Amino acid sequence: MTPTVTLEVRDLSTHFHASGTTLKAVDGVSFSVARGKVLGLVGESGSGKTVTGFSIMRLVDPPGFIAGGSILFQGLDLARISNEEMRRLRGNRIAMIFQDPMMTLNPVLRVDTQMVETILAHESTSREEARQRARDALGMVGIPSPDERLRSYPHQFSGGMRQRVAIAIAMLHRPELIIADEPTTALDVTIQGQILAEVQKLTRQFGTSLIWISHDLSVVAALADEIAVMYAGRLVEQGEVGEVLDRPLHPYTKGLIDSVPSRNRRGAPLRQIQGMTPSLANLPSGCSFRTRCPRAAEICQQAPATREWLPGHTARCHRPHHLVEEPA
Amino acid sequence: MSSSPMVELVGIAKRFSKPAGIASRIARRFGGPERATTVHAIDGVDLAIARGQVLGLVGESGCGKSTLGRIVAGIMPPSEGEVRWQGRNVAGATRAEARKAKLGIQMIFQDPMSSLNPRMRVADIVGEAPLVHGLVGRREIDAYVDEQLVSAGLDPAYKRRYPHQFSGGQRQRISIARALAVQPQFLVCDESVAALDVSIQAQVINLFLKLREDLDLTYLFISHDLGVVEHLSDRVAIMYLGRIVEEAPTGEIFARANHPYTQSLLAAVPKIENRKTTFVAVKGEIPSPLNPPAGCHFHPRCPHAFARCRSERPAIRQIAPDHFSACHLNDEPR
């Protein structure tokens, strides 16, 4: 049985015009997500992972714009369809969960109003039935006494519960794709565990594809099937989750994994990546990681292309770990 | 073997209450209900931190760990109990002694942008306190500030800049340099690396480790990130709703967690080594500290709770050498 591809992003570029220059927030990113699979999109602040998510949702506002590439959602190119067509997909077949659930929820409307509105926006059904479905959705994400909670306002929920409401709203139309942007970063560990359990149940039960955007490698390790690592607007490494985490090719990925405390002897200095993330306005020529890279050599002054070094495991690097000798 | 503790907390409690508004005062005069709005942020905490030790204080939001950190740092007085600095009660000390104790303890906060004055240059931020306290003369201050910046891993060439001209990691280094400038013996770090990116977080953690070696510092390291705490700390104390529920050396607590809350906390932490885990949810929410459950605060979420847990507060007591836990299960025959 071949897995069906829900989303295929090819060569996506999203640029921002800022004070006379063009910043390439997303620069030629390609990946795909199969049905029922979870892609972990990992990177640090400013790496372009959120802008990638926003581009797929077509939520990038000026001065940002999609400069090139295609976003194939079941054969439909989201980069080219009209705003009206996109509006019909958004919230219906593609949904997004944000880090801050208050971005999704309207603070002055009751939860039932918002949920019923979401259903009626895409379907013609009776208000009564819509309400019933809203109730079921709240129950599904583990909100106790959903009948009463429907009549609450967002501020009457705790942070974890609010995020569940946001997930319930995202799930209302059984979307084929959910983009989750750091949805558990602001939550406590036990609450994060609850949300992860719910999300996992949903992908397994309904075959929803999920793009999980996060800077937390540990969460991605536990949740994702595939992992894609972003640095300065580009995908630098991609592959099956165990493969990438056990055998990272790109020095940046390796640096990220090595700096996780549990990968180090307790009390010993953590292995760290030197320097800091460069500004997009001021990227080094060639490989944008080379100024921080312990393996950089002369060839790195030329931009490396993405190459499939191992089956299903790609990296954008001239001198990947394990495969090219250490510099003398 | 153990020397006298650097900092000792004895029976610390902190309550925050809201004065009754005019409406409720009138209502009460006419026989309305008395509505208590007292938060028991900290509820009877004893804790000792030995010289040179790193104590990790772990808990989820609202458990009182930051309040406890502030009480240790002397920013906030406790409602009850005693803070002892090198064996002496801080509250009963003379002004000069109290001032010395305060200088000896410095605090580093989560968000450097809100703890650094945006209108001051780095040189003034770092140099102000040692000048005021007469630690350094006006003539040597320039060289002294350079020295502090270097030990926090910053280039002194940037000292004429303002905080907003730095990245998050560098800003955190500025607040570290400022803390070091008064030659403290003890640092309270309140979620000091939580807001930083992974690669920058590793750099700042390494800085803390290095400073500990170089300057013989003692730390109270407050964090919700168990991975970071496990890496840095010698001892770990777990807090839940204003109480310490378990305390033990780091290796012991991660290998043999005793309290059901500690166990569920450890189970909920995703680890990079675990692939494709099926997550199991801890039931329930963190209760509001305005109205905590009676008895053991954790009983509504605890899988092992029994009748006694609902009525009687478990005392924290030793269950193994140097391992303390507050759970009634330890009294039950196994």
CA distance A116 to A133: 8
What φ, ψ does residue B17 adopt, rounded to 5°?
-130, 150
Helix A189-206 with A159-171: angle, nearest 10 deg: 10
Nearest to B199 among A196, A225, A273 (CB): A273
Residue A1 pLDDT greater than 70, yes or no: no
Q: How many residues does chain B have?
A: 334
Nearest to A262 among B205, B271, B279 (CB): B271
Q: What is the pTM of this model?
A: 0.85
Quick: pLDDT tens for A253-270: 999 999 888 888 888 888
Confidence of residue A14 (pLDDT cuts 50, 70, 90): very high
Quick: pLDDT tens for B180-230: 999 999 999 998 888 788 888 898 999 999 999 999 999 999 998 888 999
Q: Indicate yes or no: CB of A215 within 8 angstroms of CB of B197.
A: yes
Tokens of A80: 């080219």
CA distance A217 to A209: 19
Chain B contact present for A273, CB below 8 A: yes
What local confidence, expressed as pLDDT, does residue A19 receive?
80
What local confidence, expressed as pLDDT, does residue A203 receive?
87
Percent of chain B scoring above 90 in pLDDT? 54
Nearest to B285 among A160, A221, A223 (CB): A160
User: Which residues 274-293 of A are in CB contact (within 8 Å) with B?
Assistant: 276-277
**DSSP 8-state symbol, B328:** G
Contact A7, A73 (CB under 8 A): yes
Averaged over B5-22, what is the pLDDT? 86
Contact B41, B67 (CB under 8 A): yes
Confidence of residue B319 (pLDDT cuts 50, 70, 90): very high
What local confidence, expressed as pLDDT, does residue B318 receive?
93
Predicted interface score ipTM higher than 0.90? no
Q: Indicate yes or no: CB of B231 within 8 angstroms of CB of A262.
A: yes
User: Which residues 14-43 of A are in CB contact (within 8 Å) with B?
Assistant: none
**Bridge partners (DSSP) listed for residue A181:** A213
Q: What is the mean pLDDT of chain A?
A: 89
Where in chain B do CATH 3.40.50.300 domains reside? 7-233
Residue A327 pLDDT greater than 60, yes or no: no
Provide the 10 A C-beta neighbour count for residue B333: 3
Residue listed under structure tokens 């592959």: A239
Q: Is the dihedral of CA A298, A301, A302, A308 positive or negative?
A: positive
Contact A207, A171 (CB under 8 A): no
CA count, 13 A, side-chain hemisphere, B263: 12
Q: What is the mean pLDDT of chain B?
A: 88
Residue A328 pLDDT greater than 60, yes or no: no
Q: Indicate yes or no: CB of A218 within 8 angstroms of CB of B269.
A: yes
Quick: pLDDT tens for B61-119: 778 888 999 999 988 899 999 999 888 888 877 888 888 888 899 999 888 888 899 99
Tokens of A272: 């760290």
More confident residue, B141 or A192: B141
Query: Nearest C-alpha of chain A: how many angstroms from B99?
Result: 32
Candidate from A167-181, A206-220, A255-269, B14-28 with smallest mean pLDDT: B14-28
What local confidence, expressed as pLDDT, does residue B334 receive?
58
What local confidence, expressed as pLDDT, does residue A15 receive?
94
Q: Indicate yes or no: CB of B232 within 8 angstroms of CB of A142.
A: no
More confident residue, A294 or B291: A294
Tokens of B272: 């990079």
Chain B contact present for A122, CB below 8 A: no
Label residues B98-113 b or e (16+ Cβ within 10 Å = b). beebbbbbbbbbbbbb
Highest mean pLDDT pick, B37-41, B222-226, B282-286: B222-226
Question: From the candidates B272, B301, B302, which should be mutated to test the interface with A, based on the most A CB atoms within 10 A?
Answer: B272
Rounded to 10 degrees, what is the CA torsion of B24, B30, B33, B39?
Answer: 30
Helix B122-132 with B141-151: angle, nearest 10 deg: 120
Q: What is the largest CA-CA distance in chain A?
A: 72
Domain B7-233 has CATH 3.30.230.70: no
Q: Indicate yes or no: CB of B202 within 8 angstroms of CB of A222.
A: no
Candidate from A209-218, B16-25, B83-92 with smallest mean pLDDT: B16-25
Query: Nearest C-alpha of chain B: how many angstroms from A196?
Result: 6
SS (H, E, C) A285-321: CCCCCCCCCCCCCHHHHCCCCCEEEECCEEECCCCCC
CA distance A320 to A317: 6
What local confidence, expressed as pLDDT, does residue B122 receive?
94
Q: How many CB pairs under 8 A join A and B?
A: 134
Residues 6+ apart with CB under 8 A from B59: B65, B224, B238, B239, B240
